[in-house]
């Protein structure tokens, strides 16, 4: 999940938000300011309703962050590096580099998020029940308590990719001693849960409220799709056991010298090559980035004799520059962006590349190994 807005760091962990957070924040504020708060405490100034609605919406997003931060801190304590936390339309994502090594570690990482939401719900309820204050503010606290209660309970439903699915996975892994079997069971449970929510949403659309039913259907569709994707990714990782980058890369590809002009490179290399993407290299063979035929074709003919390739090169993230003896499963840790999935270097020089097509073929072959 790409961060559209970076919010800073918490405990050294980069925190950001996807643009879809603005959608959920606006929906929450509209619901609170237009219906919930006026219904709970009538007779107040409209500006007061909307101000408190915005504040409560921000507090709810903060509670989502607390949920994800709990996952991240326990993961780091358990020795799993954490790259970032991103808030988005359906809650939040804690991106980890790797997985828990034991069922207990996974259980602790998974359950702490919902427990944090339940703790926030309890705190907000106690403040609303026993703290003196305006009825409008107490109503907002009760809403915040209810939403966090629902968040904690919903996330504990037993199906991947929800936290409850991770808890189920940890328990099955511990009982069966087989992580692969637990992977499949948790993913299937997630697909079943998604289909159940879709069915409930359809029933609600037909017999009660179309808005609530539509929302259930969207959530169910997301869960079923995410569980299916996770199952495929797990199967691909299993099929890639023992496979190295050198086994899937395009070795010694035609390279684009960074100092050449477009016209010279096209006439001397690109026009004779079967590649559609080229690694751009420095004098010493070190990676600079990559260019595609589309990028080269976009340069106006009058400028091709004076435009150097290093000006056109698109960067490759450091985590996408790998060695030939590293595990090919590393390519699945982050989805490829663009036609270049990875550059392969040895001794600081480019010795191969993995294109998006190579990656797709690798995954298909891994799935065949897994099901064969």
Q: Which of 226, 235, 244, 239 is nearest to 330 (CA)?
A: 244
**For residue 297, what are the CA distances in angstroms to 263, 273, 301, 303?**
10, 15, 9, 11
Q: Could you give the dihedral angle defined by the CA atoms of residues 71, 75, 78 and 80, in that order, rounded to the nearest 10 degrees?
A: 170
- Provide the H-helix boundaries in the chain: 20-31, 37-40, 46-77, 103-130, 135-155, 163-176, 179-207, 210-239, 245-248, 262-268, 293-297, 356-371
Orientation of helix 20-31 relative to helix 46-77, angle to 10°: 140
Catalytic member of 68, 106, 204, 230: 68
Q: State the helix-helix crossing angle for 46-77 and 103-130, rounded to 10 degrees.
A: 150
Q: How far apart are CA 84 and CA 10, in angstroms?
A: 10
Give 174's contacts (C-beta < 8 A, 6+ positions apart): 103, 104, 107
Q: How many CB atoms lie within 10 A of CB 146?
A: 14
Angle of helix 103-130 relative to helix 135-155, nearest 10 degrees, comes to 160
Find, among 210, 114, 214, the residue nearest to 167 by Cα. Answer: 114
Active site residue 68: yes
What is the Cα–Cα distance from 198 to 341, expressed in whole angstroms? Answer: 35
What residues are labeled active site? Answer: 68
């Amino acid at each position: 999940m790409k961060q559209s807005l970076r919010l800073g760091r918490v405990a050294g962990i980069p925190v950001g938000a996807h643009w879809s957070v603005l959608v959920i924040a606006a929906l929450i504020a509209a619901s609170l300011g237009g219906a919930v708060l006026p219904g709970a405490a009538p007779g107040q100034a409209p500006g007061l309703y909307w101000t408190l609605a915005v504040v409560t919406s921000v507090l709810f997003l903060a509670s989502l962050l607390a949920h994800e931060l709990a996952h991240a801190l326990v993961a780091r304590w358990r020795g799993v590096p954490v790259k970032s936390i991103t808030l988005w339309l359906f809650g939040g994502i804690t991106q980890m580099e790797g997985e828990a090594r034991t069922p207990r570690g996974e259980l602790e990482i998974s359950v702490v998020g919902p427990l944090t939401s339940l703790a926030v719900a309890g705190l907000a309820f106690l403040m609303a029940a026993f703290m003196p204050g305006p009825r409008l503010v107490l109503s907002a606290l009760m809403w915040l308590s209810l939403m966090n209660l629902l968040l904690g309970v919903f996330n504990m439903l037993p199906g991947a990719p929800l936290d409850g699915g991770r808890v189920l996975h940890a328990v099955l892994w511990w009982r069966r001693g087989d992580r692969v079997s637990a992977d499949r069971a948790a993913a299937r449970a997630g697909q079943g849960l998604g289909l159940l929510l879709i069915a409930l949403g359809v029933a609600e659309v037909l017999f009660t409220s179309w808005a609530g039913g539509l929302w259930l259907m969207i959530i169910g569709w997301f869960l079923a799709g995410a569980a299916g994707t996770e199952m495929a990714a797990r199967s691909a990782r299993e099929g890639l056991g023992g496979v190295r980058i050198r086994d899937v890369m395009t070795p010694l590809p035609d390279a684009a010298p960074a100092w050449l002009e477009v016209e010279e490179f096209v006439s001397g290399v690109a026009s004779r090559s079967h590649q559609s993407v080229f690694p751009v290299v420095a004098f010493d063979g070190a990676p600079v980035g990559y260019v595609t035929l589309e990028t080269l074709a976009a340069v106006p003919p009058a400028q091709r004799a004076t435009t150097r390739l290093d000006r056109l090169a698109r960067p490759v993230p450091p985590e996408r520059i790998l060695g030939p003896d590293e595990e090919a499963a590393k390519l699945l840790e982050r989805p490829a962006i663009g036609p270049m999935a990875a550059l392969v270097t040895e001794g600081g020089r480019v010795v191969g590349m993995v294109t998006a097509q190579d990656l797709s073929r690798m995954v298909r072959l891994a799935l065949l190994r897994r099901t064969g």
